Structure 1
Amino acid sequence: MLISKRKAIHRLAAAWTIGFALLFGLLLLQTLMGAYGDRSEEAWNWLLPTIMPTMLLIYGVLFSDLSGGVFETESVKKFLYRLTLWLSVFYLLIVSLHIIIPSLFSFPRLGTMSQSHIYMGPLQGLVGIAIGYFFGNKQKEETG
């Protein structure tokens, strides 16, 4: 079963944009409220590299499609789209837990962020592979 590549890209872009906006807003609010003291730069240095590479890839593809209709007739397998979407949602949820959980349970805010590289790197790699394959895969729409 196939789905329009353009529709899938728009949905992925929406999921990442909403996730990014929520994470950015939450960290901005915590920063303004002094939650990180004079070390707020460390929190931003953790969040931005965790999210921005994927955001830039998605938006680069999205804008290239807007300017030339690159994905006008292309499709992707619905399973790959769903897998990519759910991996993305899971990843964004894990990222958000690093910002939310310390607030709820009095964990050291920057401590949970600094330890996350143990599992966030491999998880970010899985999401990157899924999104990279998803955008690189070329398959014409089947008619009939």
Structure 2
Amino acid sequence: MTKIDKELVEQLSTEEQEWYNKFQNGLMFFSGWKEISEEILTCLPMEERPEAQRLLETLGIRIGTEWSKDNTERKIDTDQLQTWGDKLREARKSGAQQLADTVNKITIEVNDILDPGFNENIASDSP
């Protein structure tokens, strides 16, 4: 976990931290981000796992800290979580490349939601 990621989690209120933990660890009938991430990692070649794990951890922190906010404030809702979870499960069936592409697409979508213009800035900084 990077320093910035840790700060995002530490800034949550007690109630938000409870919801964040539910997102990370799951509920009775729903898988948490940690379990989903492990399922994804097992589908990837060993040499790709460390980088994928870092990306998934960061993505999970960004999604979870936003989703854990009060419904009136948050930019990511439960329907989006379900949609992304479905996309990841479906991509997992199609192989490692499709799974990596789906994680990248979700990351771009999350960046657009949380920080509009972020993806354009990255693209314009590229050679």
Over alpha carbons, which structure has the higher Rg? 1
TM score, norm. by length of structure 2: 0.51
How many positions carry a matched residue from both structures?
A: 94
**How far 1:109 moved relative to its partner?**
0.7
**How far 1:41 moved relative to its partner?**
2.1
Q: Which has the higher contact order (CA 8 A, sep 6+)?
A: 1
Equivalence for 1:47:
56
Q: 8, 16, 21: which one pairs with 1:17?
A: 21
Identity between Structure 1 and Structure 2 (%): 8
Name the Cα RMSD after superposition: 3.5
Asked if 1:37 corresponds to 2:26, the answer is: no
Equivalence for 2:90:
101
SS in 2 for 1:81: coil
Equivalence for 1:5:
none
TM score, norm. by length of structure 1: 0.47
CA deviations 1:41-82 (Å, max 9, x no partner) are: 23212211123357679xxxxxxxxxxxxxxxxxxxxxx932
- Give the counterpart letter for 1:102 in structure 2: A
**How far 1:95 moved relative to its partner?**
4.7
Distance of 1:103 and 1:95 partners within structure 2: 12
SS in 2 for 1:82: coil
SS in 1 for 2:72: helix
**How far 1:86 moved relative to its partner?**
7.3
Distance of 1:98 and 1:43 partners within structure 2: 17
Unaligned runs of 5+ in 1: 1-8, 58-79, 127-144
